[in-house]
Chains A and B, each alone.
Chain A
Amino acid sequence: MAIRNAKIVTVSGPVIAKGTVIVRKGLIEAVGENVTIPADAIIVDGEGMTVYPGLIDALSTVGIPGAAPAAAAGGGGGGRGGRNAAAPAQTAAPAAAAAAPATRSWGPEDRPQTTSWLVAADELQAGDRRVETVRGSGITTAVTFPTRGIFAGQGSIIDLVSGEKAAEMVLVPEAGQYISLGGGGRGGGGGGGGGFPSSLMGTISYIRQLYLDADHYKLVKDAYAKDPRGMQRPEYDRALEGLLASKRILIPANQLLEIDRMLRFGAELKQPMILYGAREAYRPEAIELLKKANTTVLLSLRWPTAPARAAASADGEDTNESLRTLIERDQAPTAPAALQKAGIKFALYSDGQDTPRDFQRAVKKAIDNGLSRDEALRALTLSPAQIYGIADRVGSIEKGKIANLVVTKGEIFDDRTTVVMVFVDGKKYNPGETAAPGGRGGAAATDDPGPGGKR
């Protein structure tokens, strides 16, 4: 298959004003200005269109039906996704809290809210309708995570193909352990049946204990493997196995205070770490900390929004919001530009904003607040690919890489731009035609979102 006469934004190299991309067996066979189109190729005329690499959502729950959309739960800040979801409130119970423990936990030994051994790839369902909705935004690849509990399990990198078998979607099965801190959503009360941990400090101490246990477990296991004679056998512990199998951890932090707290905590855990959420990354102090720690950041595209009542009221009498909250709302979308300027490695993630309209608007807001269009694209293609170590197969339009492509009319992320075609693993999808209502986002993945986009 060949797309010809199109503008090609390769991301890794210069923009090709008019060129051709050849796709064969799911891979990019060739790309360039003067590429000979094989005789057997199906030709797509790209006149007036632009080809981009498929977008990568660096933190998602797509493909795992029943999972709540991932949310930056930095001591709160969760909330369920969907287009009408309220702005992330600091105190909102995160998705994890919904998973009530089957039995009461009496301490770290009970491994509360822990499914660290889960791998998203094993939980995937090929029929998840969100796949199609999300693909409508031009997202071809997602790093999808189980998100319930404190140690939710490992995320997997998947291509958003619609197929019979979920296994076809998997690019990399183990992409890192998803940690959330919101499990202690009971306000740290008197402990009437809540179970451990019931507070943030409880959750932190549990995570610390589990990594200490994992270190010790490994030590004992290795010693036993060397010479079991005369030694009590170490008890198998799947929670610790899950930790040891994870090559990186994702930790939430939104406010400057949380960023500071989690950078310190992450250093203590001695695990390769990615910080997710990062709402206050616009603050110079936060930038300085992130830069100093040489941290990788996944920045949520769910910008804080004004509560509905503030909008409804005609005069300024309505709000007892703090100046700080107002500043945060005003400044949050400048965070990507600030990260870019500081040279901090970051990627953007949709944070449950599934519909093309919501997604496009969220990215556009970052661009309107100083992020260059090129960097916005990079933060949704090559940067996440590099962060997850898969830049050798996705993230840009290069010979030999997986044929994940987005073809648009107009510049990507503009509100009047149309996503004409999406290629995943070389398979062509036309968002407009195949859209079916009833995806998780509650709306069809159409080029024109049409009515019902009111927040």
Chain B
Amino acid sequence: MQIRTEHLLKRFGDVTAVNDLTVTLADGKLVALLGPSGCGKTTILSMLSGILPVTGGKVFFNDRDVTDLAPDKRNVGLVFQNYALYPHMTVMQNICFPMEIKRVPKAERIKRANELAEMVHITPLLKRKPAELSGGQQQRVAIARALAKQPDILLLDEPLSNLDAKLRVEMREEIRRIQRQAKITTVFVTHDQEEASSIADQVVLLKTGVLQQQDTARNLYDQPCNLFVADFLGNPPINKMAGVIHDGRFVFEGSDSAIALEQDKMPPEGTKTVLAIRAESVIAVPDRPQLSAAVVERYTLGKDELVRLQVGTQQMRAYVAGDTPAQPGGQLAIALKKTGVFLFDAASGERYL
């Protein structure tokens, strides 16, 4: 089922948690609501589920206006951050509970619970109580319970935040698998860009309740629309080099170094800008060097080496091949790739294309 919000607004007192959000989330996709804490992503999820009333705007499921419907009338499955499994019920009873409320006959309940248990791989645990399960197992049960009433939409609130690092990678792949298998429109909330990028078909990136960009993770990474998006995605964080435009070139602040940029539209002379450079977009020892940088430090990260470079008063990180002769204290000639280098306005953060 397609989810659409129109000018969605949520205020808590004087605080605007979600501001004029208009998005369309495609049917059958896995969508991530991504943003730093306090950006309103969980609030949006709660408004989609109906737990929180909206202050303004509308929510549509397909073409049905569900804005004023109670949660149980929207047919959404919810997975809570701490799972909220009923501690006094067995796994089986937990999965059956939503169906019991819907008055599904007992035989069918049990049949369906068994199917779901098989799908999320918890069949041997059906007789256990939640306290006897690990975090990952509880997560699986919570998903099975959310799917039990055959919802049109599955909503997950920070589904992986309560798990340890290793389990997190495993469970996010599981969420992807289960979502594909159940073919259900799924929205999950996360503050972890890697989590969102790795499994989501679409990422909705938010900042202080305002939509920044909605696209595939790939496009968000390769074509960020503003500095916040460029900065939020990627590890190590993108290098943000301050500078001004002079003679159609970017002059690094605190340095004489300048480079020519291939821009369709160059900002006017003297504009304060930020040149954002991904660490992997730096070419060490190129045929045609654009820039000379001092090597500050060198870190070995398995396949690659990460070097910290100094250009004037500013520092940046760059990935270089293991055999690059760059030692701390030395100089390194570099050039920039065409991809992964973006020019933003320093004041507004808007990108110059």
Bound pair (A, B): no
- Which residue numbers of B lie inside 8 Å of A, CB to CB? none
- Which residue numbers of A lie inside 8 Å of B, CB to CB? none
